[in-house]
Structure 1
Amino acid sequence: FDKFKKTVNVSQRKIYTTNLVFSLHYRITFWFLLACAVLVGSREFIKEHINCISEGYLKNVINTYCFFSTTFTVLKHHNSSNNLQNNAHPGVGPYIVGHEPIIRHAYYQWVPFVLVLQGLMFYLPYFIWKYVENGRLKAIVQAMITSPLIATEESVIKGNKIESEELRNKKIMLMKEMYLTFSRFRVNRDWARSLVFCETLNVVNLILQVILVNIFLQGKFLHLGTEWMKDSNDVLDMVFPKVTKCTFRKYGASGSLQIHDTICVMSLNIINEKLYCILWFWFFALFIVTCIGLIWRLLTFLLHSSSPAFNKWIWGELSPGPALKTQDILVVTRKLCFSDWLFLYYLGKNINGAMFRKIVTNISESLQDTSPVLKQENYVLLKPTPSPSTSHKDDESFC
């Protein structure tokens, strides 16, 4: 009975207004970055994050100073052959102050804050989309909440309502009328444009994220993955050194300047190097998948009104079972602009296949109506009237 109850009760069904590619940004990447921020932040500000070699009474002072100021490594000591022969650690060794270049490392204290900022930026396109979408698709679907089972007359079985076929047909007609009303007032146009805009914004945001992290890591992130695959030690030791140098100055009892040249163990960089390597490969894969998603969106725009086979295939995925009539597909796809088509597609993702087929059939019958009012008000784009204020042809095809 529990399985039957879950099948009948569709009132809690999730409404899908995005695709898998979109969810990789606002769901997977967003939560991954926040989890990394919590992990790094907990170790950075709660546990031991830096340990500098110094005299006992100065240890805590130097540890705090070197963490909140900057540590550094010497550029010439990052040379691989030089490291093996003369230095115990990459980038650590003697140097002439002011004459030999050094690399300062100040990013580590900002890592958790930057990760939180990145997570929020990945969520931003979805936040904009939900604000603009404003539950329009949900309004139609909830008006159609229905049991997948029907009976000749309305009845109740163990507290679960089984609708009559007449009631279901009324709901289907209601959904069709709501859909056509949305089309008449161009609601679908803004809905589809906003969705495509936010999908494009995902790509723009991803590129900005790569630029941001590259600046944050002093220009080393862009080629981090490829350099790591070539030589895993050099690039990681330069960007995320495990041992660094730090200079602490203080005054002695007589007022003379005392300089403490110490080395610090950066235990936090063991996590940072793995985190940013994972991010590099994830951003690379996410960029490819997102571009494929945009190419798919472009293909749907080009094929939605010109390829019956494409529509038969894609709508067949939405409504498994008896295939839609070719005539209905031709009428709907050729008389609806892309924004209406896309809205109808997402509508089909959120209702059962049998209901979707009936809705498409009813919309097809309405579109074949010879009433001039219907054609003029709902589907003026079939015969656009040129005027100085009208959109261009590509805008008309999108609606």
Structure 2
Amino acid sequence: MYAAVKPLSKYLQFKSVHIYDAIFTLHSKCTVALLLACTFLLSSKQYFGDPIQCVKQKDVDIAMDYIHSYCWIYGAYMQDNVTLAPSRRVNALLECRPDVVGRQVAPENRRYIRYYQWVVLVLLLESFVFYLPAFLWKIWEGGRLKHLCDDFHKIAVCKDKSKTHLRVLVNYFTSDYKETHFRYFASYVFCEILNISISIVNMLLLDIFFGGFWTRYWAALLALFNGDFDRWNSITMQVFPKCSKCEVFIGGSGGSDSSYDFLCLLPLNMLNEKIFAFLWIWFVFVAGLVTLKFLYRLATVLHPGMRNQLMRAKTRFMPMAHLQLALRNCSFGDWFVLMRVGNNISPEIFRKLLEELYEAQSLMKKIPPGADEI
């Protein structure tokens, strides 16, 4: 099992330079790792058995491999009137009571369970979709932050080289890169909007995939939180039954079809109901975070004072007058790149960078450094 998920540990390793913020990482990288881990779990037959297992009747001379394949392809079924308080007959069907399961269920009352054929593929597809914003941003970012910050991690013990690279950063931020930085910021915001869109569309599509059950999962989770396992089972078995029936048609020697009923177990549904309960919580949590992060992004765009306060907190409360002068010619894109740089170097070095920018702006305005000390 560990060998199957070991590659994910390399995917989640921390880099020396972070091109994503924490919420972006949770939404894209951590969610992708979680979905791939669930995919590995559900596809590991050696740990959880076959996805469907049918019981053979003594008087039926049909190979079990054929029965399993037939019921997997054409779908097992259950009675189509399962409610939050299922009837005794339906409970018996779901609890695999042979005395009741042996009775026929009318075709018009059957609800076929075929989604289990697609669960692994859906989880795999979700992992690709959730990774899309991170993939796009990695291409559009182009290694800019690594170029600006990586040397500080390599030369941390060499003060002379650190000062040299600090001067390189000062020259970079005093140059005119406003258009480049605006495209950099716009690309990142587009990826954040894509994160929100993926979260919302993903939950809507899962609701369609489970026939309207996904949006009602909170009731099952509430029952589980309260320790009411009977209610948890009665709710989750609507979409994750552990026992069902399968009708197999075999051509007779005279050309007519003969039908046989088989009782089938769906052992993976024990895992499915718990995996999707956790994913329900995770998707709601992540969707809320990316929405709040986007609102925060709008606030920083619309409120310049907020940008100054955030930058001041990053520089260990550098005097506001010095900070305003250092950022005098900075556009919003420049501010955004500066904040990204500040997230990847130590606060002490970042403050030195802003102090160097302040001195550079002071020389441009011919104001002696420290003249406006407060």
TM value normalised by structure 2? 0.81
Q: Give the Cα separation in 2 of the matches to 1:113 and 1:307.
A: 44
How far residue 219 of structure 1 moved from its aligned partner, in angstroms, is: 2.0
1:15 to 6, 14, 17: 17
Could you say what secondary structure the match of 2:249 adopts? Answer: strand
2:112 equivalent to 1:112: no
Equivalent residue number for residue 101 of structure 1: 109
Equivalent residue number for residue 382 of structure 1: none
How far residue 364 of structure 1 moved from its aligned partner, in angstroms, is: 2.6
Contact 2:49-2:267 at 8 Å conserved across structures = no
Q: Give the Cα separation in 2 of the matches to 1:221 and 1:27.
A: 23
Q: Give the Cα separation in 2 of the matches to 1:213 and 1:339.
A: 37
Contact 2:311-2:339 at 8 Å conserved across structures = no
One-letter code aligned to 2:173: Y
How far residue 42 of structure 1 moved from its aligned partner, in angstroms, is: 1.8
One-letter code aligned to 2:358: S
2:194 equivalent to 1:201: yes
Go from structure 1 to structure 2 and tell me whether the alpha carbon gap of 1:237 and 1:276 turns closer, same or farther (over 3 Å shift).
same
Q: Give the Cα separation in 2 of the matches to 1:86 and 1:33.
A: 32
Contact 1:72-1:103 at 8 Å conserved across structures = yes
Q: Give the Cα separation in 1 of the matches to 2:154 and 2:348.
A: 12
Q: Give the Cα separation in 1 of the matches to 2:215 and 2:303.
A: 36
2:48 equivalent to 1:43: no
2:32 equivalent to 1:30: yes
Q: Give the Cα separation in 2 of the matches to 1:70 and 1:190.
A: 51
Equivalent residue number for residue 130 of structure 2: 122
2:352 equivalent to 1:350: no
One-letter code aligned to 2:39: A
One-letter code aligned to 2:312: K
Paired residues for 1:121-140 under 5 Å: 121-140=129-148
The answer to which of 22-31 and 72-81 deviates more is 72-81
How far residue 71 of structure 1 moved from its aligned partner, in angstroms, is: 1.1
Paired residues for 1:28-177 under 5 Å: 28-43=30-45, 47-55=49-57, 57-58=61-62, 59-76=64-81, 80=85, 82-83=87-88, 87-89=92-94, 94=103, 97-98=106-107, 100-142=108-150, 147-149=155-157, 162-164=158-160, 167-177=161-171
One-letter code aligned to 2:211: Q
How far residue 96 of structure 1 moved from its aligned partner, in angstroms, is: 5.8
1:329 to 323, 331, 335: 323
Could you say what secondary structure the match of 1:103 adopts? Answer: strand
Go from structure 1 to structure 2 and tell me whether the alpha carbon gap of 1:190 and 1:29 turns closer, same or farther (over 3 Å shift).
same
TM value normalised by structure 1? 0.76
Go from structure 1 to structure 2 and tell me whether the alpha carbon gap of 1:145 and 1:16 turns closer, same or farther (over 3 Å shift).
same
Greater relative CO, 1 or 2 (CA 8 Å, sep 6+): 2
Runs of at least 5 residues in structure 2 that lack an aligned partner in the other structure: 1-13, 224-230, 366-374
Could you say what secondary structure the match of 1:238 adopts? Answer: coil
Q: Give the Cα separation in 1 of the matches to 2:84 and 2:126.
A: 33
One-letter code aligned to 2:35: L
Paired residues for 1:181-192 under 5 Å: 181=175, 183-184=176-177, 186-192=179-185
Go from structure 1 to structure 2 and tell me whether the alpha carbon gap of 1:229 and 1:13 turns closer, same or farther (over 3 Å shift).
closer
Could you say what secondary structure the match of 2:248 adopts? Answer: strand
Could you say what secondary structure the match of 1:186 adopts? Answer: helix
How far residue 309 of structure 1 moved from its aligned partner, in angstroms, is: 4.1
Contact 1:126-1:198 at 8 Å conserved across structures = yes
2:215 to 215, 222, 228: 222
Q: Give the Cα separation in 1 of the matches to 2:90 and 2:15.
A: 66
Q: Percent identity?
A: 26
Q: Give the Cα separation in 2 of the matches to 1:81 and 1:221.
A: 19
Equivalent residue number for residue 311 of structure 1: 311
How far residue 253 of structure 1 moved from its aligned partner, in angstroms, is: 3.0
Q: Give the Cα separation in 1 of the matches to 2:162 and 2:252.
A: 89
Equivalent residue number for residue 359 of structure 1: 353
Could you say what secondary structure the match of 1:213 adopts? Answer: helix
Q: Deviations over 1:336-394 (max 9, x none)?
A: 222111100111122233322222122233345557xxxxxxxxxxxxxxxxxxxxxxx
Go from structure 1 to structure 2 and tell me whether the alpha carbon gap of 1:20 and 1:352 turns closer, same or farther (over 3 Å shift).
same
One-letter code aligned to 2:197: V
Contact 1:41-1:112 at 8 Å conserved across structures = yes
One-letter code aligned to 1:332: A
Go from structure 1 to structure 2 and tell me whether the alpha carbon gap of 1:125 and 1:306 turns closer, same or farther (over 3 Å shift).
closer
One-letter code aligned to 2:20: T
Q: Give the Cα separation in 2 of the matches to 1:88 and 1:97.
A: 14
Q: Give the Cα separation in 2 of the matches to 1:207 and 1:145.
A: 38
Go from structure 1 to structure 2 and tell me whether the alpha carbon gap of 1:326 and 1:40 turns closer, same or farther (over 3 Å shift).
same
Q: Give the Cα separation in 1 of the matches to 2:48 and 2:233.
A: 29
How far residue 81 of structure 1 moved from its aligned partner, in angstroms, is: 5.2
Contact 2:300-2:307 at 8 Å conserved across structures = no
Contact 2:246-2:263 at 8 Å conserved across structures = yes
Contact 2:79-2:90 at 8 Å conserved across structures = no
